Chain A
Amino acid sequence: MIEHHGVALAVFVALIVLTLGITVWARANTRGADDFYAGGRTFSGPQNGIALAGDYMSAASFLGIAGIIALSGYDGFLYSIGFLVAWLLALLLVEMMRNAGRFTMADVLSVRVRRQAPVRRAAVVSTVTVSVFYLLAQMVGAGALVSLLLGIHSGERFLMMSAGTARTVTIVLVGALMIFYVAFGGMKATTWLQIIKTALLLAGSVVLTALVLGRFGFDVSSMLGSAAGSSGQGEAFLRPGLRYGQDVPGDAYRTIVNKLDFISLAAALVLGTVGLPHIVNRFFAVPDGRAARTSVSWAIGLVGAFYLMTLALGFGAAALVGRDAIVAQDPSGNTAVPQLAQAAGEHVGGHLGGDLMLAFIGAVAFATILAVVSGLVLASSTSLAHDYFGQVLMLGRPRESQEVTVARFAAFLVGALAIALAVVCRDLNVAFLVALAFAMAAAANLPAIVLSLFWRRFTSTGVVAGIYGGLVSSLVLVFFSPVVSGKTDPVTGESLSLFPAGVDFHFFPLENPGLVSIPVGFACAVAGSLLGREQPDRERYDDLSVRALTGAGSH
């Protein structure tokens, strides 16, 4: 144990030093708003595509999905597929969004409206809400994860800290680094951080996949058989249904609720991606619409290849590490991949090989967390500074240097808020927040984006109604859902919700609100346009269409 602490710690420190160096370089090369928000728009399509993949592949997908596959088999792969297929929607919209906008989603939405302030305000509220929820999930996860990676169990002490303190220290350290990267380095530092992270993540996954498949003579079927055998579930492990949309014998209502919940999650994943603020912001880091399209096609290739490898990682962990050993470390399976790395490394290079592989994969996971949280903070601060301060408060005439200063300050503020919330929630199960963030992005942002670009009758009343309608319905439904109250473990009676057992005010049966809130978002957007007194502005819509489709007048 002690020696892998040492190796892991050394790798972590090296990574931090490298990224801090990049941030200092980026600070020296960041002059105006274009640099801070969009990295000077100098990144090439492929570079930005690698960074997009980095923004997207969170620790939840690297460790989380592989963990779900290791414990629940095939169902983890359902998650991967939703995450990947969603990118086709991004591919269809990215060029138009890049052409019409400047730095943020609100820029795209406000091209065609006469009164921008309400639209911008709504977009800021939704951007910051989605980002902070997603951020919270990542940071709480980071606290738990780094402790696990360093092998600090409850009761043990590490560098004189107890497990609880180590968790808090990790959250604060991750938060401080993220604030530093964003506030000083802006989009340039964040992009290079993403590129390094993607390179590490893919290298780690390729090596591990090769080691795992090698153990089975590169015979996928025999790996699957071995995984099914040691899972204790037999062939059911290789089929859908162990985790999502479970059949409950004799309870038709429960069964159908489970299935609808699964469809709701699938809808949120596939429709939410293109509304995620940190993804949308990255559409603007390239010179033109064509480069933006190239970046999305690169992202599709990288993300797809990665998710195929999670199959080998997840089933490999089930086969080589085994269910009992994984659950003993972490009941939700987040340590399955690090454990697999250690096992695979030991098989090749003995004890030292195991420690090195574990340290390497630990560093990959750490870089993954840092990169994703930085992207989220950058998106929030860009929206607050550019949309709210620059366009609403300063009426679209801010001094550029002033606006960038506000952006740096906003990064600090959002980061501090996220740290505080994450420390408060550090012992809660907040994994549902990732799916919630996707549902909110799909319900609030997607209708506004799609209807702005394609619907002639859309008005600013419609944008505002759609954003608030989708956001509020998602939040209200999730608050009254089993993830917040009323879900208990049928065997132990322990609470599986946010609130302790005994508190139960849930009335909405689904854990993911998407199935209801996404249609609500679209309905509000349409109703607001048709029922509001505002007349659609045909001329401005034509202007937006020409800009979006041809790239004329783009920034």
Chain B
Amino acid sequence: MMGDSEVTGRQGGEPGPYASIAGYERFQLLRGRVRRAALVVGTVFLGWYFLYVGLSAFARDFMARTVVGHVNVALLLGVLQVMSTFALAWAYVAYARRRLDPLAGELR
């Protein structure tokens, strides 16, 4: 196993053996999809999270509104954060299985 360090542990010497695959059209398709998916999921979850943090810090009257009984908007949005995390994770995994894994398998 340690013999593999010729590949990752190289100090100078020959550049990466897989570099040429980067020019393949199928690879560029895969890279485009991964980047787009990461950008979309990243923007959505960070935007939604910091919106929630911003509301908690600056829109306290809105967060204090009662929804039902003692449940207020703050609690509802918090639980929604948890649920949206589950949903986004599920959606990303489903997308990766359908659109990314087969392409990666072709190129490997």
Contact = CB atoms under 8 A, between A and B. Distances in A.
Interface string A214-255: 000000111011001000000100111100110100000000
Interface string A89-100: 101100110000
B17 A553 contact: yes
Interface in B73-101: 74-75, 78-79, 81-82, 85-86, 88-90, 92-93, 96, 101
Interface residues of A, number: 78
Interface string A249-267: 0000000000100110010
Contact of A115 (B12, B50, B78): B12
Contact of B30 (A84, A297, A549): A549
Given A85-B45, A543-B15, A259 B82 contact: no
B8 to A, nearest CB: 6
B15 A300 contact: no
A355 interface: no
B52 to A, nearest CB: 7
Contacts of A342: none
B85 A88 contact: yes
Nearest to B79: A308
B58 to A, nearest CB: 7
B102 to A, nearest CB: 11
Nearest to B12: A114
A4 B94 CA distance: 49
B88 A238 contact: no
Contacts of B82: 81, 84, 304, 307-308
Contacts of A489: none
Contacts of B101: 290
Contacts, number: 200
Interface stretch (A395-403, A413-421, A475-483): A395-403
A220 B71 contact: yes
A543 B89 contact: no
A270 interface: yes
B89 A546 contact: no
Given A238-B72, A549-B30, A555 B85 contact: no
B74 A238 contact: yes
Chain B: interface size category: 35 or more
Nearest to B67: A221
A304 B104 CA distance: 30
A245 B1 contact: no
Given A546-B107, A552-B107, A228 B30 contact: no
A168 interface: no
B68 to A, nearest CB: 7
Contacts of A116: 9, 11
Contact of A551 (B57, B64, B108): B108
B81 A81 contact: yes
A117 B12 CA distance: 11
A550 B53 contact: no
Given A87-B89, A259-B58, A550-B30, A539 B15 contact: yes
A77 B34 CA distance: 32
A547 B86 contact: no
A542 interface: yes
Given A266-B53, A293-B96, A546-B27, A239 B16 contact: no
Contacts of A296: 89
A33 B60 contact: no
Contacts of A88: 41-42, 45, 85, 88-89, 92
Contacts of A270: 46, 49
B70 A225 contact: yes
A537 B15 contact: yes
A540 B19 contact: yes
A13 interface: no
Interface of A: 32-34, 74, 77-78, 81-82, 84-85, 87-89, 91-92, 95-96, 102, 107, 110-112, 114-117, 220-222, 224-225, 228, 235, 238-241, 244-245, 247, 259, 262-263, 266, 270, 290, 293-294, 296-297, 300-301, 304, 307-308, 391, 395-400, 454, 537, 539-540, 542-547, 549-553, 555
18 contacts: A78-B78, A85-B49, A85-B81, A89-B42, A111-B8, A114-B12, A244-B56, A244-B57, A259-B57, A300-B85, A300-B86, A301-B86, A307-B82, A543-B17, A546-B19, A549-B31, A552-B21, A553-B17
The 5 residue pairs across chains A and B that have the minimum distance between CB atoms: A543-B16, A396-B9, A221-B69, A542-B22, A224-B70
